Amino acid sequence: EAAVTQSPRNKVTVTGGNVTLSCRQTNSHNYMYWYRQDTGHGLRLIHYSYGAGNLQIGDVPDGYKATRTTQEDFFLLLELASPSQTSLYFCASSLGWNTEVFFGKGTRLTVV
C-alpha cells in the first residue's frame, strides 16, 4: 500500500502567521499534489509537482506557495495565513499523470 505521510496532523495559527505543511511519500512516485477540502466544495487542487524542483499551479493557488525539495518531500507554505485558509489539507501522490492517486490522512489547519 502506497504511503503518504503528512505533518503536523493538526495546526492552529494566528492571522498573519507563517505556516508550513509537510508531506513525504515513500512510493517513488513522480507526482505530488496539495488539495484543500471544504464542506460544499469537495477537494480543490492548490499546487502539484511532477518531480523535484518542479511546481505547477493548481485551481486555487492564491495565498499558497509550494516547494518540492526532493522526490519524496513536498511542502505547502502559507506566508500570511488568513481565516479563509482554515481547512483540511491533503497531500497526495501518483506514479504518473494517469495512475492511481494516493492520499495522506490530512492536516487540519485553523487560522484564528
**Under the rule (CB under 8 A), what is the footprint of another protein?**
4, 31, 35, 40-45, 48, 58-59, 90, 92, 94, 96-98, 100-106
Nearest to 104 by CA among 45, 18, 34, 38: 34
CA dihedral 17, 112, 25, 67 (to 10 degrees): -30
For residue 44, what is the enclosing H or E element?
strand 42-49
The minimum distance between CB 103 and another protein, in angstroms, equals: 3
The minimum distance between CB 10 and another protein, in angstroms, equals: 11
Specify the residue, 59 or 62, whose C-beta has the smaller distance to another protein.
59
The minimum distance between CB 76 and another protein, in angstroms, equals: 15
- Cα–Cα distance for residue pair 91/89, rounded to 1 Å: 7
The minimum distance between CB 13 and another protein, in angstroms, equals: 21
Specify the residue, 79 or 100, whose C-beta has the smaller distance to another protein.
100
Specify the residue, 17 or 44, whose C-beta has the smaller distance to another protein.
44
* Residue 61 preceded by cis peptide, ω within 30: no
